[in-house]
Amino acid sequence: MRKQLIVIIMAGLTLFLCAVAAGAGATPMIGINVVLNTDVTDAILADLGTHGTVRDVVREIHAVTLQSRTSALPVIRALPYVAAANPDAQRRNGPVTPVLVTDFSNGLSSWDLDAINVTDYGFDNRQVAYDGTGVYVAVLDTGLVDNWPYYFPADRIAVDYAVCFGGGGGDNGTVSTQPNKWEHDQNSHGTHVTSTIIGYNFNGVPVNGVAPLATVIPVKVLNQNGSGWSSVIARGIVYVADLKAGALAGHPVVINMSLGGPSMDAMEQAAIDYAIANGVIVVASAGNEGTAGMGYPGAYAPVISVAASGWIGEWVGGGSWWYKNVPDPTNPADYYITAFSSRALPGQDLDVAAPGSWIVGPYQTDGQISYYFLGGTSMASPHVAGIVALMAQKDPALTAPAAEAILEGSAVPLPPGCRTVLNPDGTSTEYCWESDATGAGLATANAALAAMP
């Protein structure tokens, strides 16, 4: 009996050691985004299921997400029905530098809106004939804070279409719709981005926006720390494209994505192509990586990408500088490109630049009503998304390629150079850039509208 017991123990130990050895050699589980070269069928899903666990299917763009091991990726790529496959790419809304706003004692305008010639110094100061009426701008971001009705008029937020997508990344499970979470954001990034497009309330004083009568669709695709996955973002893009093809077929639709990551994702690219094919115009931030290169999807050519510019008069003279008058006509010598704004590497497409330095707006760090200056290409992108909304109001049939061509053709060239800029503490910083930092130059609303047929 004792001999039999020893044999059983040894056999069990052998099985245990074999299992440990097998586990040690296994590669980690990841999310894999797969784009097919054909329609999604039950047979394909069954076959993909032998290589991992199918987590989500997006039939509009022939895409499938899998939870599988990294070692399976080459095998999946070699399948005859697979056009492209890659690990689910992580995305972030980019670092920002918040500085608490302490003085809103004057006015309805801010320097950044004056810089793109939407407003001018003073009250009742719209400088263009369009305000975004009838245009929907989907903000794919972190959603809105709980008290968003304090900042924005209820009829400017399309609550019937607002949505939240979560999950992604393979190990996090299936991409899912999470009702009402879009209006419980604790990050504030999406709220600040929205404020640039439609303006906002400051203690009863309305502050102007680029397209104040456009309607924003909050599409939450980033979590509470401002990060997310391409599979989730692709879901958000497809959702907006389907709205454009259905309920919003009679309206122009623009997407703003103040987010990005270091590589293009096949599923995200397919979603962007699908959206543009359905008449959606996509605008995205260039990224905040400086000379390390642009982020994606901004660097993808069909997307209108936006670098971050600043104004040399930001801190000159003290006081409520954000309310100061920016000189007209637009003089390139008055502007600079921020150090953080991503430069375009070979194969990357940078289109235009817009204000992205010291942009004021609602930003809550403790759940209380507050306003901050933020810096980032995340702040530059909604300026251009707002300009596109004005353009789409003028021509509801405006296409993404036409919008990009008009913006580039009407931009104010900003040649390579250097500017010495005063800092808030009285010191100064020299900013220098080359031609890879500006795209076609500074976008302005009046010039873009004037260049339209």
Render 226-259 in DSSP notation, one character per residue.
Answer: SEEEHHHHHHHHHHHHHHHHTTTTTS-EEEEE--
The answer to whether residue 386 is domain-embedded is: yes
Give yes or no for residue 82 having a pLDDT over 80. Answer: yes
| 378 catalytic per annotation | yes
pLDDT above 90 covers a percentage of the chain that reads 74
Same domain, 43 and 183: no
Task: Please check whether residue 8 lies inside any domain of the structure.
Answer: no
Q: What is the CATH number of the domain that holds 229?
A: 3.40.50.200
User: Domain for residue 1, yes or no?
Assistant: no
Lowest mean pLDDT among 57-66, 175-184, 439-448: 175-184
The answer to whether residues 46 and 155 belong to one domain is no
Within a domain: 118: yes
Residues 144 and 51 in one domain: no
Q: Annotated catalytic residue: which of 378, 381, 383, 436?
A: 378
CB contact at 8 A, 351 and 409: no
Same domain, 161 and 38: no
Residues 245 and 341 in one domain: yes
What is residue 11's predicted lDDT score, i.e. its pLDDT?
39
The last residue of a domain, from among 87, 113, 130: 87
Mind listing the pLDDT tens digit for each residue in 208-267? 899 999 999 999 999 988 999 999 999 999 999 999 999 999 999 999 999 999 999 999
Catalytic, out of 114, 141, 265, 351: 141
Residue 140, in any domain of the structure = yes
State the pLDDT confidence band at 86, using cuts at 50, 70 and 90. Answer: very high
Q: What are the Cα distances from residue 260, in Å, to 353, 432, 435?
A: 17, 24, 22
Q: Are residues 173 and 308 in the same domain?
A: yes
Q: Can you tell me the distance from the alpha carbon of 374 to that of 187, in angstroms, rounded to the nearest whole number?
A: 13
- Work out the number of other CB atoms within 10 angstroms of the CB of residue 352: 30
Structural tokens at position 224? 């509470």
**pLDDT at 91 (0 to 100):** 92
For residue 176, indicate whether it is catalytic.
no
Q: For position 26, what pLDDT does the model report?
A: 60
Could you tell me if 185 and 333 lie in one domain?
yes
What's the rounded Cα separation, in Å, for the pair 379 and 376?
5
CA angle (222 as vertex; 216, 225 as ends), nearest 5:
120
| Mean pLDDT within 172-191 | 84
Tens digit of pLDDT for each residue in 316-326? 876 555 667 89
Average pLDDT over residues 428-449: 98
Q: What is the mean pLDDT of residues 155-159?
A: 95
Q: Do 126 and 295 contact (CB within 8 A), yes or no?
A: no
Q: Are residues 291 and 427 in the same domain?
A: yes
Respond yes or no: is residue 366 known to be catalytic.
no
Q: Which helix (H) or strand (E) holds 372?
A: strand 371-374
Q: Is residue 14 part of a domain?
A: no
Average pLDDT value over all residues in the chain:
89
360 compared with 406, residue with greater pLDDT: 406
Q: Which of 51, 62, 189, 383 is catalytic?
A: 189
Collapsing DSSP to helix, strand or coil, 56 comes out as strand
Q: Does 412 have pLDDT greater than 80?
A: yes
Whether pLDDT at 418 is above 60 = yes
* CA–CA separation, 377 and 272 (whole Å): 20
**Residue 114 lies in domain:** 92-450
Kindly state whether residues 318 and 394 are assigned to the same domain.
yes
The reply to whether 215 falls in a domain is: yes
In total, how many domains does the chain have? Answer: 2
- Tokens read off for 101: 């706003």
Judge if 357 and 265 occupy the same domain. yes
- The CATH number of residue 70's host domain is 3.30.70.80
Per-residue pLDDT at 401 exceeds 70? yes
If asked whether residues 268 and 409 sit together in one domain, one would say: yes
> Is the pLDDT confidence value at 24 over 60?
no
Give the strand pairing for 63-69 and 29-36: antiparallel
Output the six-digit token pair for 282: 């996509």
Higher confidence at residue 206 or residue 334? 334
For residues 285 and 375, membership in a common domain is answered with: yes
| Residue 192 backbone dihedrals phi, psi, to 5 degrees | -65, -45
Q: What is the pTM assigned to this prediction?
A: 0.90
